Amino acid sequence: MEKYFQKELLEELHELRETYGYIPEEDIVRIAQRRNIPKAHLYGVISFYSMFHLKPTGKYIIKVCDSVSCRIAESESVIDAIIKFTKVTPGNTSEDKKFTLEVAECLGHCGEGPVMTINGEFYTYLTPQKVVNILKTLD
């Protein structure tokens, strides 16, 4: 029951994600020690969740939805435009560490698609042109 009054593992990992953009190895080792979990097991847990990255991410993490409703709204052309502009393919980070691109599953804004988030902030009703304009404003 004390577990209810302590910080949950998920929350601790979210805080690290918000600070560093990913979950650094030293922190995984530290958490494993403090919570008395084997390192390998903790790695198994963290790697399960798409929002947690284990390698450093770019300054801007772009997640584009490609689920059914957004696909119907032509998310593919938006994704292509992003790839062309950032020169990054989904699942990777750009050389200059500016962008990390991911294709995400339904982000819950169906009907406003295509939809993407940049560092968690939502952008809706995207077109290839609009998305490039948005990316251009990021420094």
- Which residues are near other proteins by CB under 8 A? 1, 3-4, 8-11, 13-14, 25, 28, 35, 37-41, 43-45, 47-52, 54, 63, 66-69, 71-72, 104-113, 117, 120-122
Q: Is residue 46 exposed (0-12), middle (13-18) or buried (19+ Cβ within 10 Å)?
A: buried
| Cα distances (Å, whole numbers) of residue 23 to 9, 27, 28, 90, 99 | 12, 7, 7, 19, 17
13 or 135: CB nearest other proteins: 13
Q: Shortest gap between Cβ of 78 and other proteins (angstroms)?
A: 15
Q: Which of 51, 54, 52, 55 is nearest to 104 (CA)?
A: 51
Q: Shortest gap between Cβ of 52 and other proteins (angstroms)?
A: 6
20 or 122: CB nearest other proteins: 122
65 or 81: CB nearest other proteins: 65
Q: Shortest gap between Cβ of 50 and other proteins (angstroms)?
A: 3
Please list the alpha-helical segments (H only) found in the chain: 9-20, 25-35, 39-46, 68-72, 75-86, 128-136
Are 95 and 53 within 8 A, CB to CB? Answer: no
47 or 96: CB nearest other proteins: 47
Q: Shortest gap between Cβ of 83 and other proteins (angstroms)?
A: 17
